[in-house]
Amino acid sequence: MKPNLDQTTTLKISVADTSHQVSSAQPLDQIDEWAARLLADPITKMPALLSDFKVVNGIIDARVLLKNTYGYKDWVTGQAEYESWVSSLDTDAISLKNTVLEEIERDRATYSHFKLNGDILDVGGGFGLLREFLPLGARLISIDPFIEALNQIPKATSNAYTRLNSKLNFIGGLAEFLPFQKESFDWVHMRSMLDHVQVPDLAIKEALRVLKTNGVLLVGLYVEGGEHETVSPMRRLKNIVKHFLEYIGIERYKDFHTWHPSYKNLLKLIEDNGFIVQESFWQAGWNNEVVYVAAKKTV
C-alpha cells in the first residue's frame, strides 16, 4: 500500500498537467461506510482502508498512471483538454440549461430501459449525473481521473439535474486500475468514456473483476459508422480534413479520443474480456450512432 503521509507533509502530484496540494487529512464522512468496505489497493487488489490512500483536496486519490506506456501522452493531453472544456461551460448557463434538459430526457428513456439498481460503480462518472436516473435505495460510487470534478459542475448542469445536491461517493481513479475488491458491484456503468481510456482491454477486465457473478456491465458509446457501420462520404472527408489540419499544426480540430471503435469492435472488446453480450440499445437522437451494450458476467 501507499505509505500514509505525516500530518505536516505535503507533496505535489500532477495529472493532466495540473498540480494539487495533497494532505493526509481524510474527511470521515466523505465516503459512506458501505463504500469504504469495498476499497482495495488499485495495484495489488488487496483490501484497503481509507487511511491507506492519499487525499487531494478532500478526495481519495487512487489514480495509477501509466506514464511510460504507449498512449499516455495522448491520454493526458485529452484529459487536460476535457477538464479545461468543463471549466468553460458556464459562459452561457441559461441557454445551456435547455440543452442539458434535452439530454436528460434522452437519457431518461435509456435508463428506463436498463433499470440499474443495487450497488453501482460509475466508471468515468464525474459529477455523478447517473444519480438522476437511479431508484431510491440504489447505492452509487463514481470514479473519475478528474479529481476536481465535484468543484467544477457547470451551473447549467446543476440547475437542470435535480439530485446533484445529494451526497456522492466520489473517488479519483482510472478505469484500468479500479481501487475495489473483487465481486463488489451489481452494475458497472461506463458511459462515453471507453474511447478516452489509455488501455480499453484493461478497463473491461477490471469491470469483470469487480462485478458480482451475474452482474451487468453497461457501456454507452458513440460508435464509428453507427448500427450498420456505414461511414458517409461527407464524414470521411471531414475526418481527412481534420487529420490534415492537425498534421500542419492547427490544434483547433484535434481529436482527443484515444479509440474510435465500430459497433463490431466494441462488441469484440467486451466479449474478448469475459462478458456475454445480452442486449444493445440504440439511443434516440443520435442517428443510430450511440449504443448502450449490456453484458453479463457469468463466472
**pLDDT band (50, 70, 90) for residue 298:** confident
Segment 211-215 shows an average pLDDT of 97
pLDDT tens per residue across span 167-212? 999 999 999 999 999 999 999 999 999 999 999 999 999 999 999 9
Specify the fold of 72-296.
Answer: Rossmann fold (3.40.50)
* First-to-final CA distance of the chain: 29
pLDDT at site 253: 66
SS3 of 200, please? helix
Neighbours of 28 (CB within 10 A): 8
SS3 of 284, please? coil
247/269 Cα distance (integer angstroms): 29
pLDDT tens per residue across span 58-94? 899 999 999 999 999 999 999 999 998 888 876 555 5
**81: alpha, beta or left? (left if phi > 0; alpha if psi -120 to 50):** alpha
pLDDT at site 5: 31
pLDDT at site 185: 98
Please, what is the Cα angle at 281 between 279 and 286, to 5 degrees? 155
pLDDT at site 9: 29
pLDDT at site 107: 95
- In percent, the amount of the chain with pLDDT more than 70 equals 82
Pick 187 or 254 by higher pLDDT. Answer: 187
pLDDT at site 233: 74
| Beta carbons within 8 Å of 20's beta carbon, 6+ residues apart | 12, 13, 56, 57, 147, 148
pLDDT tens per residue across span 100-148? 898 999 999 999 999 999 999 999 999 999 999 999 999 999 999 999 9
pLDDT at site 95: 61
pLDDT at site 247: 65
Q: Enumerate the domain spans of the chain.
A: 11-61, 72-296
Q: Is the pLDDT of residue 6 over 80?
A: no
pLDDT at site 231: 72
- In percent, the amount of the chain with pLDDT more than 90 equals 64
**pLDDT band (50, 70, 90) for residue 26:** very low
